Structure 1
Amino acid sequence: MSADARGGVSPRRRPPSAPMGGARYYLILFLILVGMLLLAGRIVTLHVIDRSFLQGQGDARTLRTESLSAHRGMISDRNGEPLAISTPVVTLWANPQEVPEDRIQRLMLAQALNMSPDDLDARLERFSEREFMYLRRQLTPEAAQRVLGLRMAGVYAQHEYKRYYPAGEVTAQLLGVTNVDDFGQEGVELAYQPFLAGTPGQRRVIKDRRGRLVRDLAILREAQPGGELVLSIDQRLQYMAYRELKAAVAEHEADGGVVVMMDARTGEVLAMANQPSYNPNNRAGLDPRGLRNQAIVDVFEPGSVVKPLAMAAIMESGQFDLDIEVDTSPGWMMLDRFTIRDIRNYGRLDLAGILEKSSNIGMSKLVLELDEPLVPEVYRRLGFGQSTDTGFPGEAVGHMPAPVRWSRSQWAALSYGYGLSVSALQLASAYTALANGGVRMPPSILKLHESPAGTPAIDPGIAHDLLRIMEESVQPGTGGRRAAVPGYRVAGKTGTVRKTSASGYEQDAYRSLFAGVAPVSDPRIVTIVMIDHPRGGDFFGGAVAAPVFSRVTGGALRLLDVPPDQRIR
């Protein structure tokens, strides 16, 4: 009998472990194989199928295409002397979100930027939600390196160009300026912006995640510099004209003035000086009046300096001989309730005497006897009331009234320089007709490779006679005697004209002018001088403007090596 049968308790026995079922085993094996296949498929997809896409995405986070700045074309004078050049500068910018907040680092950055720490913190806070802000524009490379040498996170450099004007205020109004982005804003810089501006290039680089340059890879497109512009200006003559004009404006306490010097043979502008002026390299405290190139964009009534031009029309009519005499007594006359006056009673004057004495009465009486309105016709042939086509921004065309229902007083006023307006450049161009055998040369501010054809405006014989008459107006004892140039024969005409205001002609405000040609034997230079509102006591053109003409023209003739033509007496 067994122990159990005998009533004892037997110990519990565990059944032996059963092997894993076949179905369960193969399921697990299948899942492992599927996972391995999926992983292998993903690896194949990433390395074969999606390789180009993924590489492009990676490159997009490291490869960059950057712009290469192109420097602006140089502007030079007719002899190749630089008047405007572009110099390399560095602009510093920052990502405010990357700039460290560490106080010591920010203090070092502020010192390198020459800023107060508080100002730097305020700017970073103002742009804290953005990823770009300028720190400093257009620093010299040395100044920028002091900042970049800190190797501070979030601070980057951009290479640019800045315009520099070696002649400073001497050529400011003619050249104009560019803005901080090197785009022309005034003068020649604006007029020839498409020509002067370069074409930026592109390069491919590798940068790290903080935007720092790791390696240059390739130049995708070379930067193309702007074209070089050669002006007709002679820098030597420009300096001299500006110096003499500035001295005269200061001496006579004038509001300003203009000098225009033109090559009589070609119409090229050799000098164009303005007062007041400004320094284009440092525009702090800029006087807005200094921005205007008064010689081209401003107009004025020319007064007596156009009398030789009106006399050309009178002589062209064929109604008067050179020796005809006109009675200008008693020195004044009433015309349409207006009073026309001479400085004094000159009595009887021939045509040469009328110009020499600058008689308003004589001019008026001659013009009123003309059968046809030849004076405005000659003025138009000389370019008055028309564009000079220099391309200069804001170029004035002046004013030539249409001869419709004109009164006798208006006809008379036109003959002595009132009732019309011209620019100094237009006046200089008109005088080239006297200097060039009756052919007016169009003005040019660019150097010409050949002389233009010009426009016939005055009979050559009449132009020759007028030069001879005007030469007598610059002899000792005449009002224009201070315009004489030692060693050279000079022909010219003084002018003194009242300024206008909203209420009419001002009583004590004048413009003083002188227009002349030299040397008479073989004219090379036409010079116009205008001094605006001289206050030093003298205001007549012969006393204020003529001496400037003498010094500027005399110096120019010597610099240009023009031989003297004055006979030694």
Structure 2
Amino acid sequence: MKSTIQNIIRFSKVKTFAFKCIAIGVVLGCVASACVVRLAATQLIGGRQTAMAATASRTSTVPLSSKRGRILDTNGTVLAQSVERYTIVADPQLAQEYEPIDCTEKTKDYCDQIDGKPVGATGAAAVARLLASVLDDTNAMELGAKLAVDSRYAVLKKDVTPQVKRAIDDLNLGGIVWGELSSERLYADGDLMGSLLGGVDADGTGVAGIEQMENEALTGTDGHETYQRGLGGEEIPGTMTESVAARDGDDVTLTIDRDVQWYVKKVLKESKSTYGSPWVIGVVQDVQTGEILALADSDEVTAGTDEAKMNASRAVSETFDPGSIGKVISMSGYLQTGQHKLTDQFTVPDHATFEGQDFKDASDHGTQRWTLAGILANSSNIGMIMAADQYTDEQRYEYLVKFGIGQSTGLNLPGESDGTLTSPDSWDIRTHNTVLFGQGYTVNALQLSNVVATIANKGVRQQQSIIKSTTNADGKTTETKKTEGTRVIDEDVASQMMNAMESVSDVYSSYVKVDGYRLAAKSGTAQVVGSDGTLSSIVSDYSIAIPADNPRFVVTTVIKDPNGVYGGSTAGPIAAKICEFLMQKYEVPVSSPRKDAIAVNW
């Protein structure tokens, strides 16, 4: 009986154990089945998505920066260009985990040291010390502070040269510190073209001067590359899936001749000091094409600086009453309308009253017997009014407009002022006459140059230009389209005016001359509003067409508040210096003797 009970108990234990084993087996079977199902699902159903996710985590699209086009002078000399630079960036999190490798016989090819000595730190401090050894103008404390942040991206230094970037690569900090390609805009000649060139902002967009005016042409199109990166951030060979090349911006070639610009700038700076003037402006224009060879002022503004970006070139923004240079416009109108010939005779006092308004000439000369040519040669305000007795307000306005007064030059230079010219119905009794001799309206130096260039170009006004051509990344050059000139006065009238303007040069020949060359010129002096709000300042100007017998260039100079006052004795010698340089540089043949001078006295 006892044995039977023991057997029953033993059987019961075996049965219980068997049940437990079976239960555990079932559970293990279920787990195994679940694993198999999951594995099958992963491999057969979700495998592609998993692989794609893994690939995506390694895939990066890296931008390829385009380079901004260059700005060149007419001879191909580089005035502005973008050069290869790098922005050095880091992963602060990895930097904080960095452990430098001590130099031993086994690790000497890839160990970390500074000037042959151990780094002496770990983490961000070690990375900072290594970088400070090759980065100029930075210190380890400054770099360490940038690396001790809770971030995966930190900019350490901008505009690093390729040489420095290669030195950083040699520090074996791959994946922690790297360089991102960028560019820096450099200007070759400092203040030579300062505000005229302007500058670009932090994104490389032109914001002033020619950089702004030609921004669309100069700006390139960025590209990109898509590939997989390794753990150190390096490209895994053979994983490139997309590559779109960057396309650089167009090169822009100016009509400016850098050598002429340099000389004009030099003369203007010297003249500013010589005459005690706050500023001086100079323009050199090709008579036949309208191309601007030099456009300068005495301001010392370096291209690309904040000052250059915030201030337009004085040569295009400054406006002033032209003074007696404006007489060539009125006299051209007298001749073109047939009201006078240059030989017409006048008896001219030095002061007179017209319509209740008192006028006078610049100097006391008593009553003189001058021809119309003599009125221009002696720059007589009284004579100009006397000759205009049949010259209507509409005609006075018409010829000012025909010569380009009060209008844009068409150059589209940022900051350029059109000057001012009001309509005749707004003129008072005095302005009705002052417009005859260059007062009552304002111009900029470019407009004034084109007035004289129009006469020198046989009466045809050319569209001025400062952009010669553009050349794209493929090397294709597109010349700036030239518009057809506009006839303002007949060729015969222009010839007569050149003759009269030569007589003006004769008056100033003792100090405004270029040996071997005939000059056709006109001076101007005008009172302008000073800082006290009254007519307490002076603007003097002078414009020369040279050689007078075969005009090649017009040179115009403008000077504010000079010691000496009158344009002929201040702006004139400045213009003559520039003319002398032009004759030598371009090897212009000397003039033939003058034989057809129109009498200035009777």
TM-score w.r.t. structure 2 length? 0.84
Aligned: 1:244 with 2:267: yes
Query: 1:492 Cα deviation (Å)?
Result: 0.6
Q: Is the deviation greater in 337-346 or in 380-389?
A: 337-346
Query: 1:205 Cα deviation (Å)?
Result: 3.5
- Report if aligned partners of 1:92, 1:157 keep a CA contact under 8 Å in 2: yes
Aligned: 1:356 with 2:352: no
Identify the residue that residue 109 of structure 2 maps to in structure 1. none
Q: Residue 64 of structure 2: which of 47, 63, 68 is its match?
A: 68
Aligned: 1:34 with 2:30: yes
Query: Residues 326 and 51 from structure 1, CA distance in 2 versus in 1: closer, same or farther, beyond 3 angstroms?
Result: farther
Identify the residue that residue 10 of structure 2 maps to in structure 1. 16
Identify the residue that residue 490 of structure 2 maps to in structure 1. 459
Code of the residue aligned with 2:518 in structure 1: it is R
Q: Is the deviation greater in 139-148 or in 189-198?
A: 139-148
SS in structure 1 at match of 2:575 = helix
Structure 2: runs of 5+ lacking an equivalent: 97-122, 469-478, 596-602
Structure 1: runs of 5+ lacking an equivalent: none
Identify the residue that residue 417 of structure 1 maps to in structure 2. 438
Query: 1:111 Cα deviation (Å)?
Result: 5.0
Q: Residue 568 of structure 2: which of 534, 537, 542 is its match?
A: 542
Distance 1:220 1:309 in 2: 61
Distance 1:490 1:118 in 2: 67
Query: Residues 91 and 266 from structure 1, CA distance in 2 versus in 1: closer, same or farther, beyond 3 angstroms?
Result: same
Identify the residue that residue 254 of structure 2 maps to in structure 1. 231
SS in structure 1 at match of 2:580 = helix
Identify the residue that residue 77 of structure 1 maps to in structure 2. 73
Code of the residue aligned with 2:205 in structure 1: it is F
Identify the residue that residue 115 of structure 1 maps to in structure 2. 138
Alignment RMSD: 3.0
Distance 2:212 2:509 in 1: 39
Q: Tell me the number of residue pairs that the alignment of Structure 1 and Structure 2 aligns.
A: 552
Q: Residue 325 of structure 1: which of 336, 345, 352 is its match?
A: 345
Query: 1:72 Cα deviation (Å)?
Result: 0.9
Identify the residue that residue 140 of structure 1 maps to in structure 2. 161
Query: Residues 322 and 131 from structure 1, CA distance in 2 versus in 1: closer, same or farther, beyond 3 angstroms?
Result: same
SS in structure 2 at match of 1:529 = strand
Q: Residue 190 of structure 1: which of 179, 192, 212 is its match?
A: 212
Q: Is the deviation greater in 291-300 or in 225-234?
A: 291-300
Identify the residue that residue 167 of structure 1 maps to in structure 2. 189
TM-score w.r.t. structure 1 length? 0.88
Q: Deviations over 1:216-251 (max 9, x none)?
A: 843520000111211111222112211212221122
Aligned: 1:532 with 2:555: no
Identity %: 25
- Report if aligned partners of 2:74, 2:257 keep a CA contact under 8 Å in 1: yes
Query: Residues 120 and 338 from structure 1, CA distance in 2 versus in 1: closer, same or farther, beyond 3 angstroms?
Result: farther
Identify the residue that residue 207 of structure 1 maps to in structure 2. 229
Distance 2:152 2:359 in 1: 73
| 1:89-488 correspondence to structure 2 within 5 Å | 89-100=85-96, 101-113=123-135, 114-121=137-144, 123=146, 128-152=149-173, 154-209=176-231, 211=233, 217-218=239-240, 220-280=243-303, 283=305, 291-331=311-351, 333=353, 336-337=356-357, 339-345=359-365, 347-348=367-368, 349-371=370-392, 373-447=394-468, 452-475=483-506, 478-479=507-508, 481-488=510-517
SS in structure 2 at match of 1:292 = coil
- Report if aligned partners of 1:173, 1:277 keep a CA contact under 8 Å in 2: no
Q: Deviations over 1:55-77 (max 9, x none)?
A: 23222322210000111112212
Aligned: 1:511 with 2:539: yes
Query: Residues 104 and 26 from structure 1, CA distance in 2 versus in 1: closer, same or farther, beyond 3 angstroms?
Result: closer
- Report if aligned partners of 1:496, 1:511 keep a CA contact under 8 Å in 2: yes
Distance 1:481 1:400 in 2: 35
Query: 1:293 Cα deviation (Å)?
Result: 1.3
Q: Is the deviation greater in 298-307 or in 14-23?
A: 14-23
Q: Deviations over 1:128-186 (max 9, x none)?
A: 35544432211212233444443446433111111122233212232221123221121
SS in structure 2 at match of 1:473 = helix
Q: Deviations over 1:261-301 (max 9, x none)?
A: 111111111111122032226x4xx6569942122222111
Query: Residues 154 and 524 from structure 1, CA distance in 2 versus in 1: closer, same or farther, beyond 3 angstroms?
Result: same
Q: Deviations over 1:530-555 (max 9, x none)?
A: 12232xx3232112211221121222
Code of the residue aligned with 1:230 in structure 2: it is T
Query: Residues 494 and 289 from structure 1, CA distance in 2 versus in 1: closer, same or farther, beyond 3 angstroms?
Result: farther
Identify the residue that residue 523 of structure 1 maps to in structure 2. 551
SS in structure 2 at match of 1:326 = strand
